[in-house]
A and B are shown apart, each in its own frame.
Chain A
């Protein structure tokens, strides 16, 4: 029985190879202790499968920390793929407990904040190329930055992906699926370790379960007391600057739960909106809320970061199938009787020799207000206070012809806003942001994914060179928007099919599905330039800025739907 003998020898060899490793692992006592779970709902719901000898230590769960979104995603997977039975209240309690007690410290969550705020920012993970290549083929690096695990746990999460998404193994984890991979280093054999394994080594070292930041934060964390009045300032691409006030009320009988009522004003259009919502603050600082605007049919999500002093909260409110419509907001505590808060001004920039009205938005602004209380610095004279209320003062200003070009701090009584107003002598260029955008066709099978653009006016600064650190941001414009062909191939006529941009810079893609009018029944996808054109005062010809827009196909798996704010 030569085959049986050779199998026996092979088994012995494998055992020999395995034994010392196991023994070494045990002797060194390397396995970090898990984090005990004290919540009965979690133990009852998760402990059936994740039981260990210690009833408070759950396998997998006790060895991982992450954001509310990370825990929600896992629980959802347990329900959809592992037939876990859970009602909504239990799921909420589990997400809340795990986010609070197996969460991230504020210092740990900053780097991956763009992921939970659903920002499409350019992010390069430079610490390890293997990790970036392995993970980013399917998802944003933000997902990884928001995880802390033991080495074994990192190995298991990779194994989970290989099991559930078998083809991803070749595409993402192993070498032959990678594009642009660097050549093996000279000292490595051709049969080098898989990038996947090198990524695990890296992740275990850089994102371990136990950190001093978490030890310090988990000892100190408490439900934040955020009830009160907050001054809101922000920027809403497509609608310009936004200011207002938010009243936060604690929900009786619940820790870290609030109802919110925000009144916002868009000075560019004069429009006012009211957001009525609710929020939960996880881990003492992670604001997750939702709000409704009366005239709109879908809710906004609020993802914000509460600063340690409980005096500032900032983040993003957003909605849309790809979370693509959103505004950046900063909330500053402005309870009655407290010091004035100057949130910002509109317009943001004035030319030399200009005269006009400037709105000053804030909270607790002095009323009545004298021109002498408002100080824009030398060369910008406040000639008249047109109106004054605690939330909004309107003043008339005159900029002298010889004023220095540059940004000015604004002081109103004891309140101050840094670089609130820019005095300039010309507009040098306009830039369309984002410089690269993506929309997805939709309307039949999938929902349309929009892309909002906005245009910013710039002064090149004292060095008269564009793109340097001294450039002056003159604020958002209301340009004329249009689309132009981005030539990628012959006669694709993308411009005719992909969709349209409106005069707020919002691109609406065309319908999904094959288009019989196009060559090869091509979808209504394509690449176009989005062009903003604007003629500032003092110029005869318009300034133009443009951004690349890719209008592409829908995704048929929609992983990103969130309940953590409800």
Chain B
């Protein structure tokens, strides 16, 4: 960026970001769709193969996840989308949403299920 001068706020943020990045790693990795990079640093135990991943996105970070997780949680439940992470409404927890109308608002009332 030696020969370019930021002229708006976004360009300024890009430049500042690259300065911070210089000591860390060479690329901006999240918020990009695409197959998992072979060298992506996915911690063990993370499931990333679904769209999106639960613990990490396909790039191995958390930036691409639905967040807050509570926003979409009941949809995952109703659609039985995350069989190992979110209780499904068919078998394991048909009444999971009963005590909590909106997960984002009443998130403290969400139950954990021990199948």
Contact = CB atoms under 8 A, between A and B. Distances in A.
Contacts of A80: 92, 115
A287 to B, nearest CB: 24
A41 to B, nearest CB: 24
Contacts of A520: 67-68
A178 B112 contact: no
A505 to B, nearest CB: 16
Nearest to A163: B91
A529 B61 CA distance: 12
Interface string A147-190: 00000000000000100111110011000011110000000000
Interface string B5-17: 0000000011001
A489 B55 CA distance: 17
Contacts of B60: 550
A133 B107 CA distance: 33
Contact of B84 (A488, A550, A555): A555
A18 interface: no
A164 B90 CA distance: 8
B83 A165 contact: yes
Interface residues of B, number: 60
A526 B13 contact: no
A167 B92 contact: no
A551 interface: yes
B24 A487 contact: yes
B56 A552 contact: yes
Nearest to A165: B83
Contacts of A437: 43
Residue picked from B43, B46, B69, B113, most chain A C-beta under 10 Å: B43
Contacts of B2: none
A179 B48 CA distance: 9
Contact of A179 (B14, B35, B56, B113): B35
Contact of B88 (A165, A179, A525, A549): A165
B101 interface: no
Interface in A277-331: 322
A542 to B, nearest CB: 15
Residue picked from A76, A515, A529, A558, most chain B C-beta under 10 Å: A558
Interface residues of A, number: 68
A122 B44 contact: yes
Interface in B19-73: 20-21, 24-25, 28-31, 35-36, 41-47, 49-51, 54-56, 58-63, 65, 67-71, 73
Contacts of B24: 484-487, 529
Nearest to A556: B86
Contact of B85 (A166, A550, A557): A557
B36 A179 contact: yes
Contacts of B55: 438, 550, 552-553
Contacts of A23: none
Nearest to A133: B49
B17 A490 contact: yes
Contacts of A487: 17, 20-21, 24-25, 28
A523 interface: yes
B80 to A, nearest CB: 4
A490 B13 contact: yes
Given A488-B29, A553-B55, A514 B107 contact: yes
Contacts of A489: 28, 30-31, 63
A138 B112 contact: no
Nearest to A120: B44
Contacts of A514: 68, 70-71, 104, 107
Contacts of A180: 35-36, 49
Nearest to A498: B62
Contacts of A137: 47, 49-50
B28 to A, nearest CB: 7
A81 interface: yes
B83 to A, nearest CB: 4
A130 interface: no
B46 A525 contact: no
Given A521-B68, A557-B87, A488 B62 contact: yes
A120 B112 contact: no
A413 interface: no
Contacts of A136: 49
Residue picked from A140, A171, A178, A550, most chain B C-beta under 10 Å: A550
A434 interface: yes
Contacts of B21: 487
Residue picked from B25, B42, B60, B68, most chain A C-beta under 10 Å: B68
Contact of B65 (A133, A140, A525, A554): A525
Contacts of B92: 80-81, 557
B47 A138 contact: yes
A527 B107 contact: no
Nearest to A522: B67
Contacts of B36: 179-180
Given A80-B92, A523-B69, A167 B81 contact: yes
Given A167-B79, A550-B61, A513 B68 contact: yes
19 contacts: A76-B115, A167-B79, A171-B50, A487-B17, A490-B14, A490-B17, A491-B17, A513-B107, A515-B68, A521-B68, A523-B69, A523-B70, A527-B61, A527-B63, A552-B54, A555-B86, A556-B110, A557-B112, A561-B114
Given A77-B115, A556-B112, 14 more contacts: A80-B115, A81-B91, A136-B49, A138-B47, A165-B83, A171-B81, A180-B49, A445-B107, A486-B24, A487-B17, A526-B62, A552-B54, A554-B112, A556-B73
The 6 closest A-B CB pairs, nearest first, are A514-B68, A165-B83, A438-B43, A488-B30, A138-B84, A120-B44
